[in-house]
Amino acid sequence: MKKVVILTGAGMSAESGISTFRDAGGLWDKYPVEQVATPEGYEQNPELVLGFYAAQREGMLKANPNEGHRLVAALEEDYDVTVITQNIDNLHERAGSTHIIHLHGELTKVTSTWNPNDSRYIRTLRDDEPYPIVGDKAGDGSQLRPFIVWFGEAVPNIELAVDYCQQADIFIIIGTSLNVYPAAGLLQYVPSKADVYLIDPKPVDVHSHRHVHIIQKGASEGMRILRSLLAEQEK
């Protein structure tokens, strides 16, 4: 069974009503990155940061997977699929994908401020459970913080993601500007013999001289087109 690796970004979830970060009107227009997505911002104003991610989680719980998510999950019928996502929502899981690597953390989880990547202190919140506020403690006695990889922090799952990229027969990029490293550099680990597809309604610089099949559409329409292309190839 061929190995398919899919790298998804904010454009994957845009059709579900979840704000992108970098587009006009996106989250970074409303909230400076430095305030809500850095360790320094969290240290200066934990109430603001916790409130920001509480609001993002509330939006995620109201959102539903779109057709693009469902078509990604459906690829598992014919391929060995790994989804590597820069998104912090759980829409891939809810659409039925079973093997997902979250590079930038997960809105469904909280963790220790002192030891954010220690599995002993990472906790999954129930949907009906309120988001932590200042004063809520992790198992090590520190303030509970979002289980999110902020700018300036290491990306714990990047080596795992690289391992899967190196095994890919087909590599698919959906809804990412390829401007955020280290995720943007994953394409360089994909074998030269692998087919590479990029789905995005806007032009994207892939920072590579290799051939990339461009499908300049949104996630759902792009995935419909890609499913047809893959089916033709398998005949």
69, 104, 207, 211: the active-site residue: 104
End-to-end CA distance of the chain: 15
Q: How many Å apart are CA 66 and CA 14, to the nearest integer?
A: 9
Q: How many Å apart are CA 53 and CA 37, to the nearest integer?
A: 10
Q: Are 101 and 84 in contact (CB under 8 A)?
A: yes
- Dihedral, CA of residue 35, residue 37, residue 42 and residue 45, to nearest 10: 30
| Residue 102 annotated to the active site | no
Helices 219-234 and 67-74, axial angle in degrees (round to 10): 20
How is residue 186 annotated by DSSP? G
Closest CA relative to residue 130, chosen from 44, 51, 45, 19? 51
Q: Are 170 and 191 in contact (CB under 8 A)?
A: no
Q: Distance of CA 120 to CAs 32, 76, 111, 143, 160, Å?
A: 31, 31, 9, 14, 20
Closest CA relative to residue 201, chosen from 185, 229, 221? 221
**Which are the catalytic amino acids?**
104
